Amino acid sequence: MKKTLILTLLLGLNSYAQTPQAPQHKETGEELDVSQVTEKYWAQGKDSELGVVQNRKYTSEHKLELSLLTGTVSTDPFLSVTQFGGSLGYYVSPYFSIHAIAWKDSVSDSDAYLSFKARTTNAALDRNRPKSFYGLQLNQNFLYGKASLFGKAIIYVDIFALGGLGVTNTESGNSATPFIGIGQKIHLNQYFSLNLDYRIMRFNETILSSTGGKSNERINTTDVISAGIGFLY
């Protein structure tokens, strides 16, 4: 009886050991298709060119730009100077362009000079009136974006650094004029834009005496603020 019970238990254990066990399922997280996320939220293009900024709505690459401009020239506290001119440029890429720029100066006595003249008998000051400027300018676009205008419209903006070399023509002659600055372009559509820029210009000039002849030499640092409209084609 005892042997029979032991034999039955051994046969039962052997049968259990040979019974196939249910497969164990390892819990795994949901798989994520990175390519779909990239396609939906990132810029289109090659993997090496992916970025967080969307493609430009208005591109100027390989286009010519004709601009008309006007602004103020702060060159002498006793002169009021307004400039009128234009530029013609070519965009090598969306980020780099070269421009030929020129303007004529309209000069009159400033309020400071008129006040000085009203308080002084036989007032006369040594001055040197600017006449014109022309030169070459390089633009480097370093910031592009869009902004909401009063929540009613989206505007697209380029901000660029600028620099170049030109010639300032004054009453006493011509002077080489290097300059640097910063500018902003607001795109109205694919063809037109509003342009605003600021330049610091530096040149040597000869001051003319109010009684005739030359007075002295000086280095002139001029601030120029220009605004205008550009046309891309």
pLDDT tens for the chain, residues 1 to 233 = 555 555 555 555 555 555 555 555 555 556 666 666 556 555 454 545 544 555 677 788 899 999 999 999 999 999 999 999 999 999 999 899 999 999 999 999 999 888 888 887 666 788 899 999 999 999 999 998 888 888 888 889 999 999 999 999 999 999 999 999 999 999 999 899 999 999 999 999 999 887 777 888 999 999 999 999 999 99
Structural domain 62-232, CATH architecture: Beta Barrel (2.40)
Instruction: Spell out the domain ranges in the chain.
Output: 62-232
Question: In degrees to the nearest 10, what's the CA dihedral of 168, 172, 175, 177?
Answer: -40
Residue type, 84: F
CA-atom Rg of the chain in angstroms? 37
Do 151 and 232 contact (CB within 8 A), yes or no? no
Q: What per-residue confidence (pLDDT) applies to 145?
A: 87
Q: What per-residue confidence (pLDDT) applies to 36?
A: 65
User: Considering only CA atoms, which of 225, 228, 170, 227 is closest in space to residue 200?
Assistant: 225
